[in-house]
Amino acid sequence: MRILGIDPGSRVTGFGVVQVLRNGRIEYIASGCVRVPQGELADRLKTVYDGVTEIIKTYQPTMLAIEKVFMAKNADSALKLGQARGAAILAGANQMLDIAEYTALQIKRAAVGKGHAGKQQVQHMVKALLGLSAAPQADAADALACAICHAHHAVGLQSLPRRPSRRRRMRLPL
């Protein structure tokens, strides 16, 4: 399973691609950022969409994991973030990827072990978990942490024993 993690942003959208191997180990493939120039909103969103589409075509992931928007102090910033997030989700949907969403708390807990970790802690743990020689840039590290979070959830779900479904017949009163 190849996972594209996205840390959406109205100025910088981080991405990280990991591969989950058969033994459950997570392997680093690529990471970086889509930088959005100043300008009209439509042009900025198109840059996010085109950038994520190009990443998908280049690295051929099977899943897209993306961070959910949380309400910050500034509603305008949250709205712009949501629009950038929507452009990234649309890029994944148009390329027929399965899409999973995680809160920042879930992502940090999966990568660092605690949900209120700082940026430097996330960078350090992503570097350690993926065996990188240097810590990735902050937005790319957040995106890699998102991909790692999905890898942990997906592998965990696959290891659960499957139970046969038990259908119960409804008896209607006569």
- For the annotated catalytic residues, the residue numbers are 7, 67, 139
Burial 92-117 (b: 16+ CB within 10 A, else e): beebebebbebebebbbbbbbeeeeb
Separation in Å, CA 107 to CA 49, 121, 126, 133, 172: 23, 12, 11, 22, 46
Alpha carbon distance, N-terminus to C-terminus of the chain: 52
Question: How do strand 12-20 and strand 2-7 relate by DSSP bridges?
Answer: antiparallel
Q: Which of these, 13, 21, 48, 49, lies nearest to 5 by C-alpha position?
A: 13
CA-to-CA dists, residue 127 to 86, 97, 111, 144, 151, angstroms? 28, 26, 10, 10, 16
